[in-house]
Amino acid sequence: MEAYLLNLGVLISLYAILAVTLNFIMGYAGIYSLAHAVFFGTGAYAGASVALNFSASIFVMVPTAMLCAAALSLLLALPALRVRGEYFVAASLGLQVLAVTVFAEWKAVTGGIGGLIGIPPVDIAGFEIYSPGSFFILSLVTLAAVVAITRLLVRSSFGRSLKAIRDSESAALAFGKNIALIKTTSVVISAALAAIAGSLYAAYMSFINVESFMLDTSVLIMAMVIIGGTGTQLGPIVGAALLLILPGALSYLSFLPQTEIGSIQQILYGLGMAVLMIFRPGGIVGRGRAETGEGEA
Amino acid sequence: MLWLQLAITGLQVGALYALTAVGFSLIFGCTRIFHFAHGATFVLAAYVFYYVESQGYGTAAGVLAASVAAVGFGVLMDRLVYAPIQRHEGSFFTVFVASFGIGIAVQNLVGMVFGRSFVTVTTPLSRSVEVLDGVYVSPLAWIAVACAGVFFLGLWFFLRRTNLGTGLRALADNPELIRVFGLSPRLLSTYAFALGSFLVVPAAVITGATAGLNPALGHHVMLISLAATIVGGIGSIGGALVAGFGLGLAESLALLQFDSQWTEAVTFAILFLFILLRPSGLFGRAATS
Amino acid sequence: MNTFRLCIVVAGLHLATAFPSQAADHQIGALFPLSGPNATYGDIFMSGADLAVDHINADELLSGELSLRYEDSQALPQRAVVGMTKLVNVDQVPYVLSAFTGVSKAISTLAQRNQVVAVNGGGVGPDLAQLGEYFWNVIPLANLEVRGLVPYLVEEEGLKNVVLIYVDDPLGQAIRTELETELPTVGGTLVDALSVPTTAQQFSGIAAKVRAAEPDAVYIASYGAQQLQIVKQLRDNGVDAQLVTYSGYSVSEALALPESEGLIYTTQSVDYDSDDPVTKRFVDDYTAKYGRAPTAYNVNYYNAVRLFGLLAHALEDKGQAVTGANLLAERMATDSFDLVGGTVSFQDDGTLVAPIQINIVTDGAGQPVATVDVAD
């Protein structure tokens, strides 16, 4: 039981990292990306490759993963500079589909659909971390660090510039802000931080394949942010916890027929998403509609 | 002759893409609602047709039932989901999440009700006949292309020649203006959903007979519709039609060069490049901010 | 959110306290796709497993009641890992039924670390044989199926030129490699190999490429709904070559497809008409309970559960605890088992050896035409 809760805790922490980093560009820069799973995946594959071939040390694995994701994120920054709103969403969707194809076909690195197996546990100064208990602490500490970093950034002058761009690009331009640089930097930071979650995920699961990094995952992360509350500090974490606990909790409803439980879970998950958006569009933590941010073209 | 065969195949697939894309494009263009559950409309219509037809009520009854289901679902989505969200001035993304959620729910509901496995509408029309040496075309391919033409022309006349059509076009251009003329944007939006959802019916029925159905079909339909809408240019129905055919052809002809797992990537590489280089699409208005 | 946590804790306490009072009862787990595109397999796997549980309880083979705890894997690795963790830590089962290559690979590390036996009766990717000593296969893997099929195809049916349509995953790749090496040894050729993505629904283009290659036979290596779509669309688009596939096709809805008529597929050999009492009882009761004839998957998961029954029974006789480690030791110490389809033995890598049977679809059902002993 304890291990089950710890396992859930690890997953929540890792997904919370993803949600927090996505919230960083969604909530503060107005960049609504449907490609966050790409950086999650890039981090996971990069981390796993390093761990399998060179060293499982966290100080080698994580930075490499971050670098790879940061480099790739320039592909997302490109459309972010050119278009807004639904056009950008579609562009990020395109990137997501392309990335899934590459994940599934670049067999030398990703193992194809079969994925990578036997990824060694992460190593911190000679200690191997793989039990749910110790890994939970590691992921929690990482989450805290990521939250601290984004919080610091949001409150700095960089964060103020971001919000200025989100609210009105032309006004920000008039104030002499370098919009291209600020937007690109925010995308790069977000992707690099998401890659940390990816590499830890790979080490924890010891198995990854493309199915964990598909469009559904991107939507799930986005749903976590929006359901929790876009542009809030706590929202993404609450959203991640809620969406990961819900399916597990549902499987305890023993009066449901076992064969249909999977479908019922999915139906409730889907309906829950819709109902929350209808009655609480600002998210659970959100203070109302002012915080949701508009994504119009 | 492989290229000719692939081109013909591409046209058939493209016709189906075009039909669904035109429906999505109409809804999106008029209301700016990112109706991701459009794929669910497709699945629903296809399964209702399959069910009614396989119960022995005949094709006409099946098409009628499918149309009722599709239009009913579209209108309900607009009324029960999108209207309340828009009343809160929920962002474009809030709508997307709600729509995606409904899409998941419908997919699983369809699986529970109709079974999760593969079903197919049995008809001799899906059998290909050799029209040229080594080139096979099924009667349904002609029907698909004809449907795309007929429905598109019908829609075109409707939008140009009727008051409602003019209203819908005005809604796409300037919702504020609608109010000035004493029309209700909400009501027009509902009409857009009814019409757009109705347009998936022929594609859904034909897909049921050619490719067969499973509840997870909606996703792909949706992605293609979105790609075609953007490549064609948001707000341009003709653009969606051309882009739908284009994507079908590209997907099919790509097989000459690539393995088929790259075809989806080809589609989305085209989409990605379009957004970067010509975000207004083939026939759209300027979109860069 | 707090309420959800509470739910879990309360439910957990309930389970934890439930265990000691009914120590003689046995619970095993199963990770099947119960929702999503592959859910149809879940239904099929369950029917076999459930029947075995019924039989074991009716025979009072074990000191207490045996029950099966299902978790939905959706045939996806991450879901499976979460479900496996729950089975191992909350339900504390010593034995888990697994299916699908991706799922099996994902949970194999957990099985090994927690000393829980995982048994696969559905996935046939050959790399399933290398997942550690706690991972067993009660199904011969696909490389054996191809090895059994190829000589029959070329020598008996005279079908020399083969085109392969495959999903580019470990299973598909293994079948491709196997065809590439096996066909030439009997004078056949793999003329073309066309890979398809797992999500593809449209195969008219693929059909055109198949026709262009002019094969005598088309081998299809896919799963679930997709393999039916491929078969239907090949036939619809003018491919009239012999269709051939592997045991993934042995589900009743696939065999019932009109386009499947005449298709050749391999399974592990099960002589359903056998007088062997285990087989006879299984066939009779399965047909009575579900109103249809059993297929190889039903047999495999019946066998997987029966295997647990036999091993646990032996352990109880010796007064040993039914743990994963003891089950493994007991299996290693036992030479052969009486399962449905006859007496079988395990290879050292935990994989069952069984002869391969070649079937032809006739009037919507598989008819065995030959049985091949495959030397590994």
Contact A281 B99 (CB under 8 A): no
Contact C1 A238 (CB under 8 A): yes
In a domain, B286, yes or no: no
pLDDT tens readout for residues A164-217: 888 877 777 777 778 888 889 999 999 999 999 999 999 988 888 888 898 889
CB contacts < 8 A (B, C)? 107
Contact B220 C40 (CB under 8 A): no
- The partner residue sitting opposite C236, judged by closest CB among B6, B108, B210, is B210
Q: What pLDDT, on the 0 to 100 scale, is given for residue A296?
A: 33
Neighbours of chain C (3+ CB pairs under 8 A): A, B
Contact C229 B211 (CB under 8 A): yes
In a domain, A276, yes or no: no
The answer to whether A91 contacts chain B (CB < 8 Å) is: yes
Q: How far is C106 from chain B (nearest CA, A)?
A: 24
In a domain, B260, yes or no: yes
Average pLDDT over residues C221-227: 86
Average pLDDT over residues C97-118: 89
Average pLDDT over residues C148-174: 90
Tell whether the model's pLDDT for residue A32 goes beyond 50: yes
In a domain, B180, yes or no: yes
In a domain, B127, yes or no: yes
Contacts of C43 in chain A (CB under 8 A): 259
Assign C4 a pLDDT band (cuts: 50, 70, 90). Answer: very low
As for the ipTM of the complex, it is: 0.83
Q: What is the spatial distance between Cα A169 and Cα A166, in angstroms, rounded to a whole number?
A: 7
Q: How far is A4 from chain C (nearest CA, A)?
A: 6
The answer to whether A231 contacts chain B (CB < 8 Å) is: no
The Cα angle at residue A43 between residues A42 and A44, in degrees rounded to 5 = 90
Assign C17 a pLDDT band (cuts: 50, 70, 90). Answer: very low
Q: What pLDDT, on the 0 to 100 scale, is given for residue C252?
A: 81
Q: What pLDDT, on the 0 to 100 scale, is given for residue C97?
A: 96
- The partner residue sitting opposite C105, judged by closest CB among A101, A117, A258, is A117
Contact A87 B287 (CB under 8 A): yes
The beta strands (E) that lie in chain C are given as 26-32, 66-72, 95-98, 117-120, 135-137, 161-167, 189-196, 217-221, 242-245, 264-268, 337-339, 342-344, 356-362, 365-372
The answer to whether C37 contacts chain B (CB < 8 Å) is: yes
Contact C229 B122 (CB under 8 A): no
> Count of domains in chain B?
1
Average pLDDT over residues A85-102: 88
pLDDT tens readout for residues A99-149: 999 998 888 888 888 788 888 888 888 788 877 788 999 999 999 999 999
Q: What pLDDT, on the 0 to 100 scale, is given for residue C94?
A: 95
Tell whether the model's pLDDT for residue C11 goes beyond 60: no
Helix (H) or strand (E) holding B60: helix B59-76
Range of the domain at B160: 2-277
Q: What pLDDT, on the 0 to 100 scale, is given for residue C38?
A: 77
Tell whether the model's pLDDT for residue C353 goes beyond 90: no
Average pLDDT over residues C28-55: 88
Q: What pLDDT, on the 0 to 100 scale, is given for residue C270?
A: 80
Q: Comparing A182 with C3, which gets the higher pLDDT?
A: A182
In a domain, B205, yes or no: yes
The answer to whether A205 contacts chain C (CB < 8 Å) is: yes
Decide: C313 and C62 in contact? Cβ < 8 Å.
Answer: yes
The Cα angle at residue B45 between residues B43 and B48, in degrees rounded to 5 = 105
Range of the domain at A168: 2-214
In a domain, B288, yes or no: no
Q: What is the spatial distance between Cα B119 and Cα A69, in angstroms, rounded to a whole number?
A: 41
Name the percent of chain C lying above pLDDT 90: 44
Q: How far is C14 from chain B (nearest CA, A)?
A: 30
Q: Comparing A250 with C191, which gets the higher pLDDT?
A: C191
User: Which CATH homologous superfamily contains domain C2-140+275-354?
Assistant: Response regulator (3.40.50.2300)
Assign C130 a pLDDT band (cuts: 50, 70, 90). Answer: confident
B21: helix, strand or coil: helix
List beta partners, residue C221. C166
pLDDT tens readout for residues C56-79: 999 999 988 999 988 888 888 778
Q: What is the spatial distance between Cα B183 and Cα B185, in angstroms, rounded to a whole number?
A: 6
In a domain, A221, yes or no: no
User: Minimum mean pLDDT among A193-202, A242-251, C259-268: which range?
Assistant: A242-251
Contacts of C33 in chain A (CB under 8 A): 262
The answer to whether B122 contacts chain C (CB < 8 Å) is: yes
Q: How far is C345 from chain A (nearest CA, A)?
A: 28
In a domain, A125, yes or no: yes
pLDDT tens readout for residues C297-330: 899 999 999 999 999 999 999 999 999 999 999 9
**What is C143-269+357-372's CATH number, 3.90.79.10, 3.10.20.590, 3.40.50.2300, 3.30.450.40?**
3.40.50.2300
pLDDT along chain B (289 residues), means of 10: 87 91 91 89 94 90 95 94 81 83 91 80 80 83 91 91 85 76 82 94 91 83 87 86 92 86 84 84 57
In a domain, B192, yes or no: yes
The answer to whether C70 contacts chain A (CB < 8 Å) is: yes
In a domain, A77, yes or no: yes
> Count of domains in chain A?
1
Q: What pLDDT, on the 0 to 100 scale, is given for residue C31?
A: 94
Assign A29 a pLDDT band (cuts: 50, 70, 90). Answer: confident
- The partner residue sitting opposite C208, judged by closest CB among B5, B127, B217, is B5
CB contacts < 8 A (A, B)? 161
The amino acid occupying position B139 is P
Q: What pLDDT, on the 0 to 100 scale, is given for residue B182?
A: 73
Interface with chain A: mutation pick from B32, B43, B78, B92, highest number of A CBs within 10 Å: B92
Contacts of B115 in chain C (CB under 8 A): 40
Give the CATH number, domain containing residue B150. Answer: 1.10.3470
Contact A260 B112 (CB under 8 A): yes
Q: Comparing A55 with C10, which gets the higher pLDDT?
A: A55
Q: What pLDDT, on the 0 to 100 scale, is given for residue A259?
A: 63
- The partner residue sitting opposite C86, judged by closest CB among A4, A113, A241, is A4
The beta strands (E) that lie in C149-206 are given as 161-167, 189-196
